[in-house]
Chains A and B, each alone.
Chain A
């Protein structure tokens, strides 16, 4: 018997396939988002409660923190095939995003990465600088990178093991790329890439043309985040990859689709831009909302980012983040995350004493 979920899932897959070339059809996307939100309002208890408080005009977005405190899914836990979790927190709770199947996630991830990260190569040698899927089975990033290896790689080298760099494997992969002239894709977390950078000490490389680096997650030191341009400068100097070949990915445990910096897309379209904004796929709607009212802001204004992702079939399509940014057409400028700890009131530091949480994807 065909269920409503089957029909919606089929429509989602069709939309992703149709928009995989980077085209847009916002009417079709919005209609599908509404259909999904309607059925999720009836089937996902946590979302039903949010709607009871907020109404459904427009459909409210689920704050990311809710994924830490409530199950956000319309299927029972017994039907989970995978649960992706956010990184651990001082408070203990980790956000959980349950999946009944991963086919929709896979289709969205593959289509977005093909368009924004690997538009110019069918397959490419790949070095993964992030925890392995077996080491981190609940990490959506580890899962995605493992699939990247299957979908896009001619050869995969895992250079991150047990929380550290496997320097021998890294050197072999990098030297092989230099000697064979075959481009190499280095994909991983910014933190792990900077560890690799340090581990390589004085060794520098000139990787072949069309090599690239995908980094995700940002990197913070005790004195604050390292600016992304500083990270790019370090990686570019280390690996001999031009700045445009270093692409940041934006993903969250609570979403099934990813955003990528636009540099390779622009190059494929014959455009040169210095802007480091993120392209979002046509099956995703990104809206900057007013931090207080959560109402949509006019295009170009800065607010908290709300993501409506049709690939979130089995949870909720509408996710409200604490990330700050502005939207212009099919691009988003990310301006960082609103800090959880509010600075203005002394009472709020007590909240820090009880523990603050983030929603980083491990």
Chain B
């Protein structure tokens, strides 16, 4: 689509979306919830037309294997049942005392291409806040957002136009302005530089909510490693977190810190993550093909791992053990580092350097409160048990801030 054509298409989508706003604001919550549950169920169902389409198109658009696509669809969508969505809706800010809340007129979400299901939560938040929403899909991968919008259209009746999808190259600033210039809030996902560039171009009338680069880390306390069987279970859970989305997500763990003193030490856990975790997953849920630059980054990272410690590698995965070596971020794509941390406080010191980039901490053998106490004040990651990092509960908080941020304004009366 040419620049002017793309801009015209964006304006048309925004017009339709704005027109649907009145119906959306007047709609019963039950009707919105019902449409959302049906939308997600249709995409999850491999027998539905859109479910089949998703499974046919996503391997090529995302670079993930069909098995990993299937896993991701299940992980992202199976939790979105009626009860979960009701629970999530209940977290929406409510009028209280002299504070009133009201939805903004139009939301926009700029998506990145790394995790194809990342649009699910902002769609939920916007529509349940009764904010019509335009998704700007990555020009490299717009398959899932478009299928999601089609599924919504199938089930939303008179609210069908409340969710639109557009796509245009990142350097098409006219199209971008046609969208973001008319939106009241823009949630932007992507690299930090992308966020900074968009923010710099944003009009003063649009609220910016950034979701920048991130990664995950894992802490395993010795209590979780009381026996080899327990360690094996933890190793499989870690491998599951690493393999999801081929470790391309902002929740994906890149490094694991292990407290000494268990039946299995850090080196042993590294080997178990490789042999008992990632090796079987390489067969049941293979990694997608690497591009040349991804292969080059992997080659360098693995090579250094052999020089600094030990490397356990196989076809499509590798685990390094570098004991107390300095953090050296992996290139992703199922390459993960294991280190030793004397205790949970030392873990906190090790991840402090990641700052706001630390989006998720997986843990075992420690409590969430112990972790929170150990984490420095400059990080605000989601906390999840190992094996659940890529299956986060549908909650009201993401990236250290409310999911409703920007979709709902607060007014003191």
Contacts from A to B (Cβ < 8 Å): 46, 49-50, 52-54, 62-66, 68-70, 290-294, 302-304, 320, 322, 324, 338-354
Looking at the assembled complex, report how far the CB atom of B184 sits from the nearest CB atom of chain A, in whole angstroms.
25
A353: nearest chain-B partner, CB-CB: B357
Pairwise interchain contact A338-B114, C-beta atoms closer than 8 A: no
Interface residues on B, range: 35 or more
Interface residue stretch chosen among B29-37, B222-230, B287-295 = B287-295
For A357, the closest partner residue in chain B by CB is B300
A to B CB contacts below 8 Å, 14 in the list: A46-B306, A64-B300, A65-B301, A66-B306, A291-B292, A322-B297, A342-B297, A342-B333, A347-B114, A348-B213, A348-B331, A348-B332, A349-B192, A350-B215
Contacts A50-B307, A63-B302, A63-B304 given; does A346 touch B189 at CB 8 Å:
yes
B248 contacts A by Cβ under 8 Å: yes
The smallest beta-carbon distance between A237 and chain B, in angstroms, is 32
- Looking at B125-133, B308-316, B376-384, the stretch in contact with chain A turns out to be B308-316
The CA of A342 and the CA of B313, in the complex, are separated in Å by: 20
- CB of A69 within 8 A of CB of B295, answer no
By a CB distance below 8 angstroms, the chain A residues around B313 are 53
A291-B294, A304-B299 in contact; A351/B331 too (CB < 8 A)?
Answer: yes
Instruction: Enumerate chain B residues within 8 angstroms of A349, measured Cβ to Cβ.
Output: 191-193, 212-213
> Which of B48-56, B249-257, B258-266 touches A?
B249-257
Q: How far is the CA of A346 from the CA of B332 in the complex (A)?
A: 10
Question: Do B293 and A343 have beta carbons less than 8 Å apart?
Answer: yes
Q: Which of A320, A347, A348 has the most CB of B within 10 A?
A: A347
Task: Determine which of B252, B306, B327 lies in contact with A354 in the assembled complex, contact meaning CB atoms within 8 Å.
Answer: B327
Given contacts A63-B303, A70-B307, contact A351 B329 (CB under 8 A): yes
* Contact, CB under 8 Å: B303 / A320: yes
List B contacts of A320 (CB < 8 A): 299, 303
By Cβ-Cβ distance, the 9 closest A-B pairs, closest first, are: A291-B295, A63-B303, A345-B248, A338-B296, A349-B213, A70-B307, A65-B300, A322-B296, A338-B293
Give CA–CA (A343, B329) in the complex, Å. 15
Interface majority SS on A: helix, strand, loop or mixed? mixed
Chain A residues whose CB sits within 8 angstroms of the CB of B247 once the complex forms: 345, 347
Q: DSSP majority for the B interface?
A: mixed
Q: Which residues of B contact A (CB under 8 A)?
A: 63, 112-115, 189-193, 212-216, 246-250, 252, 254, 289-304, 306-308, 310-313, 315, 327, 329, 331-333, 353-355, 357
Residues of A contacting B189 in the complex (Cβ-Cβ under 8 angstroms)? 346
Residues of A within 8 A of B312 (CB): 53
Q: Report A-chain residues with C-beta under 8 Å of the C-beta of B354.
A: 350, 353-354
A324 CA / B296 CA spacing, docked (Å): 9
Residues in B neighbouring A351, C-beta threshold 8 A: 329, 331
New contact pairs (12) apart from A339-B293, A342-B332, CB-CB < 8 Å: A50-B307, A63-B302, A291-B294, A304-B296, A320-B303, A322-B297, A322-B299, A345-B247, A346-B115, A347-B332, A350-B354, A352-B213
Chain B's closest residue to A340 (CB) is: B297
Contact partner, B113, options A338, A341, A344, A353, Cβ 8 Å = A344
B192 contacts A292, C-beta separation under 8 Å: no
- Minimum CB–CB distance from B353 to chain A (whole Å) comes to 7
Give the most central of B295, B302, B312, B357: most A CB within 10 Å. Answer: B295
Note all chain B residues with C-beta closer than 8 A to A341: 297
- A291 lies within 8 A of B296 (CB): yes
Q: Is the CB of B213 within 8 A of A354?
A: no
Docked pose: A351 CA to B295 CA in angstroms: 16
Contact B293 A65 (CB under 8 A): no
B375 to chain A, nearest CB (A): 17
Establish whether residues B192 and A347, one from each chain, have CB atoms under 8 Å apart when the complex forms.
no
Cβ–Cβ contact B303 & A346, under 8 A? no
Asked whether B353 lies within 8 Å of A354 as measured between CB atoms, the reply is: yes
Please tell me if the beta carbons of B307 and A350 are within 8 angstroms of each other in the complex: no
Q: Is the pair A344, B327 in contact by a Cβ cutoff of 8 Å?
A: no
Contact of A53 among B63, B191, B213, B306 (CB under 8 A): B306
Measured between C-beta atoms, what is the minimum distance from B287 to chain A in Å?
A: 9
CA distance A339 to B63 in the complex (A): 19
